[in-house]
Amino acid sequence: MEETNESNVSITFDGLLRFAIDDVYHLCRAEVHTAAPGHVMCIKIKVGKQVIDRKIFSAKELKDLQSIHIFIGKGDKLEPADPSAKDNGRFENILDLAGRDFYQSPRNTKPGMYGCSIWLHNGEVGAGDETDFKVCSRVRQDLFGKLKFVWKNEHEWSGFKDGVQHMDLNAIKDLEEFARNVSATLSLADGEALCIKNGKTGELLFDPLKVGQSYEVIIKYADVELPQTLADCKGFAHHSEALILPVSAPIFGIFKPASFKDSQLEPVTEPGCCDCARMGGPTSLLKDFQAQWPPSSATRAVRPNID
């Protein structure tokens, strides 16, 4: 392939992650819910349809890493370019599972639930695929046992939902539109490369993605296997379980009832819970960034030392 002097990079985040943008330091942080058992993170790099690199990290390995930094490196030593991550105008469309979509007021998080952070230094960040998910519903945890994984038809699901809402209007709520994933885009110029680095040791986790080709980086944190029963499918209740809630407060998850035709002849290929919600967050999620890298000069205020 003939080399060019510019490359486009798209980065997709998907899974048990929550996001915040720091408008002062121009960084985006994706926190990884490492307290969820049975999950792995796959980072896959593609050029066109070809996968050129792929690594899988367990929850324990992610906690050992503590942080992953994704940045544009410049020059022979690939020194980090000044952070430039910013909202592309759609960041607010990321569903906040700790916020008012699910609870009357925003909730705080228990310590130790998010054991790894992915710091994106450059690019425009926002909601990824957005569409109308009217079949997706917010469901309270104490109703999980009564829910079926397979519904014979939409009428059966609607009847159950109507009955539950007759008892408790807020127990099940349809979610009409939210992001399926979170995406970022950036460009590489001559002498630049995209670097993905272990924040603890400073070692590169992948070979630098050098200018000359366009790349797709897919970061997905999910169950090792697709859930086969609703009992296996707590979905984004993992996020709610990480929150500090009153004893009587309900824990919510998001579910998409599978239709009977999807599973009567072959194993279920669609997860029972919607694989399409993300937790957004205010800039206060990044307050410990200043503790990690306190600025001592104007330069460090915009470029933290990650080596």
Task: Give the span between the Cα atoms of 72 and 196, in whole angstroms.
Answer: 9
Could you tell me how many residues make up the chain?
A: 307
Q: Give the global pTM.
A: 0.83
pLDDT tens for each residue of 93-131: 888 878 888 888 888 889 999 999 999 999 999 888 766
Contacts of 259 (CB under 8 A, 6+ apart): 150, 151, 152, 153, 154
pLDDT given at position 127: 85
Burial of 61 (0-12, 13-18, 19+ CB in 10 A): middle
Between β-strands 86-87 and 124-127, what pairing exists: parallel, antiparallel or unpaired?
parallel
Task: Give the span between the Cα atoms of 52 and 40, in whole angstroms.
Answer: 20
pLDDT tens for each residue of 254-290: 877 766 555 443 444 444 455 545 666 655 556 656 5
pLDDT tens for each residue of 154-172: 888 888 889 988 988 878 8
In the chain, where the domains are located = 6-302
Higher pLDDT: 162 or 302? It is 162
